[in-house]
């Protein structure tokens, strides 16, 4: 099944000075399958955030068509930003339940907190959380709405390597318990290989899809740095077009 069909003919940011503005995306066509963990990899400024904003419905100023397969009446899109964007005057649990209906099942939130190892921190305010904990709260908040598609925009940037690895492992555990389509943006090819079923490589503006690669490392080997590095080396050897993007 196709989870997301993207056909963006043109996305141009208007500019007061330099007409005709900045063309960020041109003729981008992608069909992404359901329930896969998909990493979008591309150089800085190639338009990854622009694409996620269009998919999230935050930016409607483009020409083209987006179709999202959905289980709910209308598509539900979860969005995890680089900055966790927690409300400082709400506790961890209140931040998570903010977007949920008042009659939501508290056991669902309990289970999410448990998987992300945040049960003990649920009554804490964000100022007392480390960055890694804040990122985990923002991931739970996005999962809690039971999204059809989850968008993640470099959510592990500026975490130290061991913390990023821990949050990655917890994220995958959560996703395996509640599989759905994830689009995860990253610059970091090793991170993408550790996470993804499928890699989609994107070129510099105007953004276009260059290659799609399946990652065939078994899930239980994804913490093996040697397997990841071997996959990366082979990928760059077999696909020289990707080297220029990194």
Ligand X SMILES: Nc1ncnc2c1ncn2[C@@H]1O[C@H](COP(=O)(O)OP(=O)(O)OP(=O)(O)O)[C@@H](O)[C@H]1O
- Cβ proximity of 77 and 56 under 8 Å: yes
Closest to ligand X by CB, 148 vs 153, is 153
Instruction: Answer yes or no whether residue 23 interacts with ligand X by CB under 6 A.
Output: no
Looking at 9, 45, 71, 110, which residue binds ligand X (CB under 6 A)?
45
* Minimal distance, residue 38 CB to ligand X, in Å: 16
Site string for ligand X, 196-225 (x = CB under 6 A): ---------x--------------------
Answer for which of 47, 75, 78, 84 binds ligand X (CB under 6 A) is 47
Q: What is the rounded distance in angstroms from the CA atom of residue 184 to the CA atom of residue 95? A: 22
Identify which of residues 40 and 139 has a Cβ nearer to ligand X in the complex: 40
* SS3 assignment, position 230: helix
155 counts as binding ligand X under rule CB under 6 A: no
Binding residues with ligand X: total (CB under 6 A): 12
Whichever of 55 and 109 has its CB closer to ligand X, that residue is 55
> Contact 54/91 with Cβ under 8 angstroms?
no
Whether residue 156 contacts residue 108, with contact meaning beta carbons closer than 8 Å, is answered with no
Least distance from C-beta 212 to ligand X, angstroms?
Answer: 18
Please list the residues that pair with 12 across neighbouring strands.
Answer: 23
Query: DSSP code of 246?
Result: -
Per CB under 6 A, does 24 bind ligand X?
yes
Cα separation, 235 vs 212, whole angstroms: 11
Chosen residue from 49, 95, 134, 203 binding ligand X by CB under 6 A: 49
The Cα 79–Cα 102 span in angstroms is 21
């Amino acid at each position: 099944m196709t989870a997301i069909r993207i056909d963006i003919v043109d996305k141009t940011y208007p500019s007061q000075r330099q007409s005709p503005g900045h063309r960020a995306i041109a003729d981008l066509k992608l069909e992404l399958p359901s329930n896969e963990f998909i990493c979008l990899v591309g150089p800085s400024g190639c338009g990854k955030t622009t694409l996620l904003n269009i998919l999230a419905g935050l930016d409607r100023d483009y020409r083209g068509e987006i179709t999202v397969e959905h289980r709910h009446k209308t598509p539900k899109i979860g969005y995890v930003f680089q900055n966790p964007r927690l409300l400082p005057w709400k506790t961890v649990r209140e931040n998570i339940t903010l977007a949920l209906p008042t009659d939501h099942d508290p056991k669902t939130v309990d289970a999410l907190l448990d998987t992300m190892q945040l049960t003990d921190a649920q009554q804490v305010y964000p100022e007392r959380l480390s960055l890694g904990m804040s990122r985990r709260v923002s991931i739970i908040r996005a999962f809690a709405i039971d999204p059809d598609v989850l968008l993640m925009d470099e959510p592990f940037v500026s975490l130290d390597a061991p913390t990023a690895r821990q949050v990655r492992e917890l994220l995958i555990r959560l996703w395996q318990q509640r599989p759905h389509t994830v689009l995860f943006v990253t610059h970091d090819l090793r991170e993408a290989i550790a996470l993804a079923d499928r890699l989609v490589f994107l070129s510099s503006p105007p953004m276009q899809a260059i290659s799609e690669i399946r990652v065939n490392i078994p899930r239980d080997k994804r913490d093996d740095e040697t397997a990841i590095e071997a996959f990366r080396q082979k990928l760059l050897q077999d696909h020289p077009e990707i080297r220029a993007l990194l």
